[in-house]
Amino acid sequence: MLDNMSTDVIRSVVEQRDASGSGCRLEASGTISLETVADIAASGVDALSVGALTHSAPALDTSLLISPFEPQEQTVRP
């Protein structure tokens, strides 16, 4: 997990991983935005994790409004 790292640092880590022959997978996360996603994706990481998709999404109002209940007179059918 490469969290909150600059694109240059991410590239360096990817190069070190590749040079070592390690098969470990690298995931970049933190501070990924529309402005940085292309550069980070091109750095050679295997995955991107973008928390902004959920942290910045507007909340859906799922509230339940309850009104006072007024009983009605019941009639019994024969």
- The per-residue pLDDT for range 19-37, each reduced to its tens digit, is 999 989 999 998 788 889 9
Count CB neighbours of 28 within 10 A: 28
pLDDT band at 53 (very low <50, low <70, confident <90, very high): low
Residue 74 lies in a domain: no
Whether residue 50 is contained in a domain is answered as: yes
Domains in the chain: how many in total? 1
Q: In this structure, is residue 66 part of a structural domain?
A: no
> Is 49 a member of any domain?
yes
Q: Is residue 35 part of a domain?
A: yes
Residue 29 lies in a domain: yes
pTM of the entire predicted model: 0.65
Structural domain of 49? 2-55
Strand partners, 48: 28
